[in-house]
Structure 1
Amino acid sequence: MVTASQSTETVIYQGQFGEFTITDRDRQGVIIYRSGLAVAALSFLLGTSLLLWQGATPFVLNILTVLFAFFALGLGTSLLTIHIYLVPLHRLLQMFWLVGTVFSTAIAFSSPEPLALFVYKHPLTLLGTGFIFAALTGIYFKEAFCFNRLETKLLTPLVPILLLGFMAGIFPSEIQQLFLASWSILFAVFALRKVFQAIPPDIGDKSVFSYLENQKQQN
């Protein structure tokens, strides 16, 4: 439980392991985190909308590659600034993002076909590119656990179900489109709600971070 008291100069928060304050740098980190999510969500929403509206035309497929690049950049930015108490989990999500991004970039530059078309024709490539979505699902899970958000509770199982179902070939195209549309809308809702959320909850209990750092140095 984190409580706050107002002093003449700043707000002092009482964390689990002691008092702490929130600095401008902390706030900037949260703003960057949310901005990255917004870029990723908007890119995903635009790409999904174009694909479902216009179909897999050459123009749309090429635009999807550009939008995926913005999606990956936004997500990577968020993963740099997200506050997660468990450092190994934080590093694991960043590693997932890196693997998925590198694999996707390799396909984009080596394949004569647009990235989305190549992945669609070769579903097992998601074993590489899918790591970036695993990192995104990690954010959904963290937000669902910390803030009890309905949209992230839905997204946490929806994303792996869609991707695994696509790789296994068990979903007809209509179900894939429904899941994809739901994903893009819920992601946009999540990112939009983050814009209006108070900043301190996203920073968390800084005394926990200090405690864990001290424990690490003592070991």
Structure 2
Amino acid sequence: MSAATESIELVVYQGQFGEFTITTADRRGVVIYRAGLMVAALCFAIGATLVLWRANDPAVQMAMTPLYTLFTVALGVGLATIHIYLAALHRALQIFWLIGTVASLSVAHFYSEPFAVTVYQHPETILGVGFTFAALTGIFFKEAFCFNRLETKLLTLIVPLLLLGHWLGVLPLIAEKILLAAWAVLFVIFALRKAFQPIPPDIGDKSVFEYLKQQSKQQTVV
């Protein structure tokens, strides 16, 4: 182990419930989380750009499936490595992602059209696929609450507005395009800003995690 690594591991922080250190494993987890967000953001932005540019092109429609698949995998990686104090919320977002993934596989399997075309032409599929984006919205909400980022506050509103609006059929096409473009741009901005943010804030107060873990164990024993 290098001296630089040792110095990183030996930094002691004062948390709400005691002292804690940030290890290289903690930092690695944050890097993976941010990488997952970046890949997901880029996949979504590329897909949105292609749809807004040439939505009726069969090649573009087919390209949406691998882009969505990579987006989903990257989002799953992010949800596996994100730091959220409330374990129940963290687990709920992961369950949402799992439901959305299973629903997406079902849609892709049972409909003959390309995946993106199916979801667009059959809004009822959003009731299943939408769980993936509910998980994504949960990340945006968490980031907005913890870091007060404008883009995540806007995304927390835009994502459900677009999905619910399309499902209910209340949004005109131009409004859907504007919301989709805004979503793509703000998502990339969010991922880029995360890439340059100091790592410790993304790890949070580890003493809180430990305290909540101990409380959970005590309740289980009781």
TM range (shorter): over 0.9
1:151 aligns with 2:151: yes
1:64-97: CA deviation from partner (whole Å, max 9, x where unpaired): 0110001000100000000000000000000000
Range with greater deviation from structure 2 (58-67 or 101-110)? 101-110
Any idea what SS the aligned residue of 1:85 has? coil
1:24 aligns with 2:24: yes
Which residue does 2:208 correspond to in 1? 208
Amino acid aligned to 1:192? L
Any idea what SS the aligned residue of 2:14 has? strand
Which residue does 1:33 correspond to in 2? 33
> How many residues get paired?
213
Alignment of 1:90-129 (within 5 A): 90-129=90-129
User: Given the two structures, how large is their TM-score scaled by the length of structure 1?
Assistant: 0.95
Q: CA deviation at 1:216?
A: 1.5
Q: 1:73 to 1:8 in 2, by over 3 A?
A: closer
Q: CA deviation at 1:144?
A: 0.2
Q: CA deviation at 1:162?
A: 0.8
Structure 2 distance, partners of 1:208, 1:10, is 19
**Does the 8 Å CA contact 2:9/2:21 hold for their aligned counterparts?**
no
Alignment of 1:59-208 (within 5 A): 59-208=59-208
Q: CA deviation at 1:180?
A: 0.1
Which residue does 1:3 correspond to in 2? none
Any idea what SS the aligned residue of 2:138 has? helix
Amino acid aligned to 1:122? H
Runs of 4+ in 1 over 2 A off after TM superposition: 7-10
Any idea what SS the aligned residue of 1:68 has? helix
Q: CA deviation at 1:107?
A: 1.1
1:133-183: CA deviation from partner (whole Å, max 9, x where unpaired): 000000000000000000001000111011111111111111100000000
Any idea what SS the aligned residue of 1:66 has? helix
Structure 2 distance, partners of 1:8, 1:85, is 23
Q: CA deviation at 1:10?
A: 2.3
Structure 2 distance, partners of 1:187, 1:168, is 24
Which residue does 2:12 correspond to in 1? 12
Q: CA deviation at 1:110?
A: 2.3
Structure 1 distance, partners of 2:112, 2:8, is 63
**Does the 8 Å CA contact 2:9/2:23 hold for their aligned counterparts?**
no
Structure 2 distance, partners of 1:21, 1:208, is 13
Structure 2 distance, partners of 1:127, 1:53, is 27
Structure 2 distance, partners of 1:9, 1:76, is 28
Q: CA deviation at 1:8?
A: 10
Any idea what SS the aligned residue of 2:109 has? helix
Q: CA deviation at 1:57?
A: 1.4
Structure 2: runs of 5 or more not aligned? 1-6
Q: CA deviation at 1:9?
A: 7.2
Structure 2 distance, partners of 1:44, 1:8, is 35
Any idea what SS the aligned residue of 2:20 has? strand
1:217 aligns with 2:186: no
Any idea what SS the aligned residue of 2:73 has? helix
Structure 1 distance, partners of 2:125, 2:106, is 11
Structure 2 distance, partners of 1:70, 1:183, is 18
Amino acid aligned to 1:89? L
